[in-house]
A and B are shown apart, each in its own frame.
Chain A
Amino acid sequence: MSPALPAEWRDFLALTKPRVMTLVVFTALCGLLAAPVHINPVLGFTAILCTAVGAGASGALNMWYEADLDAHMKRTKGRPLPAGRMDRPSALQFGVALGVGSVLVMGLAVNLLAAAILAASILFYVLVYTVWLKRRTPQNIVIGGAAGAFPPLIGWAAATGRIDLLPVLLFLLIFLWTPPHFWALSLFVRTDYAAAGVPMLPVVAGIKTTRRHVLLYTLPMAAAAVAPWPLGLAGIIYGVTASLLTAWFVLLAVRVALSRETDQAQMKPERALFKFSILYLFVLFGALVVDRMILA
């Protein structure tokens, strides 16, 4: 029997979920730049690189564990493991090496607090979200969303060596943003999740309940988004940007809540909210950095 072909390097890159990584890098960078202290550019670059590699490790370990699930979903069946382009041990070894390497370098080159938060975010995503919650509860992404909320905390901790109120609010913002973002997506790809047996909210509780939950989680998210302004942690640039964008986010969430469409292909409010939610986070964090830099 011929041995299997070794996986291509592009497949290893795909394991790191590069598209998710862009948001991780961006929010970590914003956390780092919004911090009130200067960090050496080499150490700042190292901190962001370690955060990105740590996120890549989380992605690789997630794909290693979920290869069977991914094979059942249209959105994920082309990934290296379900498509048969890579064997599972390679994915596991790659993920562990990236995770251990990123935490070690962060601890040795930047500081221990940033390394500890990075390690916690990887373990949280892999063990709490992927292994424990995802297949067991429709609230999987509510708690699992915390994993994606760590990067601004890491960036801030890398620069300052401590945790303050502003990065905690940024953590809260991403944490509360994740449910409406993912539930909007899960509404128009719910048959995919149902086929894979993932208990996402639309599959378990129905479309109407999910739409109500989207709006329900958008309201505290809106409060967390605007809070830095009245609390004096950000100025008018962030305040006005956050208020306008958040108002639009709430409006889109209301449209989702009021929608009665059941055909996935026709779910325009859900698609609009999903697309806008990505832009929302990018612009909001960008505005915070601009605001803090100008005020400083």
Chain B
Amino acid sequence: MTPDFEQEYRRRQRARAKVTALILGALVVLFFAIAIVRM
């Protein structure tokens, strides 16, 4: 694995992790709102 390859590998992993975290955060908010509405 060349340094350039590894750098690109890490960059993509970080970007995917950030997007996943955002989606999970949004789902937490949505599920909370659904729970309140359906109570």
Contacts and interface: CB of A to CB of B under 8 A. Distances in A.
Interface of A: 2-3, 5-9, 40, 42-43, 45-46, 49, 109
B30 A5 contact: no
Q: Is the interface of B mostly helix, strand, loop or mixed?
A: helix
A2 B30 contact: no
B12 A46 contact: no
A6 B13 contact: yes
Interface residues of B, number: 16
Interface of B: 1-2, 5, 8-9, 12-13, 15-16, 19, 30, 33-34, 36-38
A46 B36 CA distance: 13
Nearest to B22: A9
Task: Enumerate the 9 nearest inter-chain pairs by beta-carbon distance, A residue then B residue, closest first.
Answer: A9-B19, A42-B37, A109-B34, A42-B33, A6-B12, A9-B16, A40-B37, A2-B1, A8-B12
A6 B37 contact: no
Nearest to A110: B34
A42 B35 CA distance: 10
Contacts of A45: 30
A5 B1 contact: no
Contacts of A43: 34, 37-38
Nearest to B38: A109
Nearest to A45: B30
